[in-house]
Structure 1
Amino acid sequence: MFQVQTESLISDLRQTMANDFTLSFSTIRKTTQSNALLNGQLTNYALYQLSGSIYTNAAPYEYGDCSCGSSATCISQSKIMDYYSGTIYLYVPGIYIGCYIIESLLQSDLRCFYNQSCIDELQPFLASFSQMNVSALDKSLLVRFVENSTVQEMMDELMIETWNSSI
């Protein structure tokens, strides 16, 4: 009887924690989106000033057919490119860019980080003064998630792969 009650309390605690976190996180996201806040990286709006004007205007960026002016969840595949020539060196699988960094991160997944060849392709573009020895994440350690689970799916589960409770 005691063990059943304790397991029930632990289950309720897990659910309450997940619900509380989700509510708080969702409130912050919706507040940011509904106020159309300009982010510091300028990934949602481009600022411009007309010649002779003292006013600054903002034009929403578009990702594919999606405008940041109408949706905060617009995304496109992340790529590493030369800004000046437009040469694309690498598309990063599972990683997205979009209007807000948090929104694109939540829609991204970690598949590249479970693939050694993807990491090897990405590594030369990372700012580092010395070569790093980076190994792919171990797929065999996954229990609840898969390598292409979105960050949102993991956040919904508080990024907890397994719960261990000893009674």
Structure 2
Amino acid sequence: MTGALVFQALSTLCVLVDETISNRLIEFYSTQYVSASVTPSDVFQLQTDAFVSQFLSSTTNNFLLSLAMIRKTTQSNTLASGQLTNYRFYPDIYGDLFTISAQYGDCTCSSSATCISQYAVVYYPNLTEIFPIPGLYTGCYIIESLLQSSLQCFYDQACIDNLLLYLGSSTFINVTALDILLSIQFLENSTIADILDQLMVEEWNSS
């Protein structure tokens, strides 16, 4: 169930980053450069580079600060996940509800919001693990496990083929592995947090 939500969360982050950059570019393009005298070309170039550098750092820092504030607020208030990934609710004999903290490996969500364990394709009803998915994690909160995950499996065609096999879709799905050679600064095992630290941008074009 939470597997689909991981990719929905990733898609949401992509949209938020795209909107953030677009809005900041609108502000940046509306900035006017005014000088009381003719600015030498070398000085103008240095100032332009400084403006661009400031734009990149402020855009990145503001986005990450907003995300960090949301994460800290969620964690500090111990909010229950809508998918019950951090706490389970059970009724007692009187009909009252009590909670039990979920556990991932040796880590419990009551002690840390960043507990994770590796995602795996599981056979029901006996919950036998069939195929662990490299780089993909589940945990107390979908966003926290996503940030610690990577797209490692999706650079490996064999891994993708295994996933498609166990999905058991009745229709053919043609999925091609990502090409690491097209990446400039990210690696196969770069976490989503690492990618987000760069606003998911491989390379900025300031020309």
TM-score range, shorter chain: over 0.9
Residue 108 of structure 1, CA deviation: 0.3
- Structure 1 residue runs of 5 or longer lacking an equivalent are none
Counting only pairs closer than 5 Å after superposition, residues 57-96 of structure 1 correspond to structure 2 as 57-96=98-137
Q: Secondary structure at the match of 2:173?
A: coil
- Hey, what does 2:58 align to over in structure 1? 16
Q: Secondary structure at the match of 1:13?
A: helix
Residue 70 of structure 1, CA deviation: 0.9
TM-score (norm 1): 0.95
User: What whole-Å deviation, never above 9, does each CA across 1:71-127 have from its counterpart, x for those lacking one?
Assistant: 000000101102411221110000000000000000000110001000001112337
- Hey, what does 1:133 align to over in structure 2? 174
Counting only pairs closer than 5 Å after superposition, residues 106-117 of structure 1 correspond to structure 2 as 106-117=147-158
Say whether residues 1:40 and 2:89 are aligned partners: no
- Hey, what does 2:39 align to over in structure 1? none
Distance 2:111 2:78 in 1: 9
Residue 147 of structure 1, CA deviation: 0.8
Say whether residues 1:6 and 2:48 are aligned partners: yes
- Hey, what does 2:70 align to over in structure 1? 28
User: What whole-Å deviation, never above 9, does each CA across 1:13-60 have from its counterpart, x for those lacking one?
Assistant: 100011101110000001111111111111100110112x23211110
**Segments ≥4 residues shifted beyond 2 Å:** 124-129
Larger radius of gyration: 2
Count of aligned pairs: 165
Q: Secondary structure at the match of 2:189?
A: coil
2:113 corresponds to which letter in structure 1?
Answer: A
- Structure 2 residue runs of 5 or longer lacking an equivalent are 1-42
Q: Secondary structure at the match of 2:118?
A: strand
Q: Quick one: structure 1 residues 34 and 24, their matched pair in 2 at CA, closer, same or farther if it must change by over 3 Å? A: same
- Hey, what does 1:121 align to over in structure 2? 162
TM-score (norm 2): 0.77
How many percent of aligned residue pairs carry the same amino acid?
51
Distance 1:135 1:84 in 2: 31
Q: 1:105 aligns with which of 136, 143, 146?
A: 146
RMSD: 1.1
